Amino acid sequence: MFGSETMKKLFLPVMIVVFLLGTYYLYPLQLGAIPFLLASIYFFYAAIKQTRLDRKRKGEKSERGQPKKNRKKIK
């Protein structure tokens, strides 16, 4: 059920609210860095996922007749 479009659109706003609430409650306990660490892990994962998707799309364009760039091999 997580694959539906509605769930995908709601995931990020819900996670932002959870992040803000977690920061609000953990900051007075001097544990405010924990939500930031979890958020950085999430954003790192999202960036890797987007990079892979962009590379895949770029590869599909290359297969449709556009030449790929020549890469020099390092010996």
What would the pLDDT profile of 9-42 be if each residue is shown by its tens digit? 888 888 889 889 988 998 899 998 888 898 899 8
Between 72 and 7, name the one with better pLDDT: 7
- Percent of the chain residues past pLDDT 70, beyond the cut: 75
Residues 6+ apart with CB under 8 A from 19: 35, 38, 39
The reply to whether 22 falls in a domain is yes
Q: Is the pLDDT of residue 71 over 70?
A: no
pTM: 0.60
Number of domains in the chain: 1
Quote the domain boundaries for residue 12.
1-47
* Residue-wise pLDDT tens digits, 44-69: 998 999 999 998 888 876 555 555 56
In a domain, 42, yes or no: yes
